[in-house]
Amino acid sequence: MRLCVWGTIATSLFEFNLVQTDPNFANFQYQDERLVLLDFGATREYAPSFGDGYRRLFCAALDHNEQAMTAALTDIGFFSQQIIPEQKQAIIHMVQLACEPLQQNAPFDFGNSTLAQRLRDAGTAISMQQNYWHSPPADALFLHRKIGGLYLLAARLGAKVNVRQQLQSWL
């Protein structure tokens, strides 16, 4: 099964600066080995600098460059308030986890991955810490909601997708 949604997200974010952010399965139709988006009600406009921040974040994650990841996350607005170093490191670890499908240059088997569970566990661990840091920026939350929903949709479909290949031209 070929699932080309990551290229579509890249086009939406990096070129159009406009992303449909509702990952509800009912908003999609699977047709001729393509996902067709049916509902544009939760469309969100992003500043070009926001997309540039994510482009730099993905490139830094590919290079396993924590310093560049920190700079990109700061520009996106994740570290706009003072947080303790352990929490900052936990967020960087979550980003590295979330970029796991991107980090391999081969089809990622969403159907047999434990990625969603590991991300949930990492997020829960952060939120249970004393002196928990602030919430991510709303723009990031909506984008992550979309990407997370696509992970779950790909898992439900048992998709094997080379995410890096789909995003390569944008990075």
What pLDDT score does 1 carry?
44
Question: pLDDT tens digits for the chain (171 residues)?
Answer: 455 567 777 888 888 888 877 776 677 677 776 667 666 778 889 999 999 999 999 999 999 999 999 999 999 988 866 777 888 888 899 999 999 999 999 999 999 999 988 988 988 887 777 666 667 888 998 898 888 888 888 888 888 989 999 888 888
What pLDDT score does 68 carry?
97
How far the first Cα of the chain sits from its last, in Å, is: 24
What pLDDT score does 130 carry?
63
**Would you list the domain boundaries of the chain?**
5-170
Sign of CA pseudo-dihedral 138, 61, 151, 127: negative
CB–CB of 147/108 below 8 Å?
A: no
What pLDDT score does 134 carry?
65
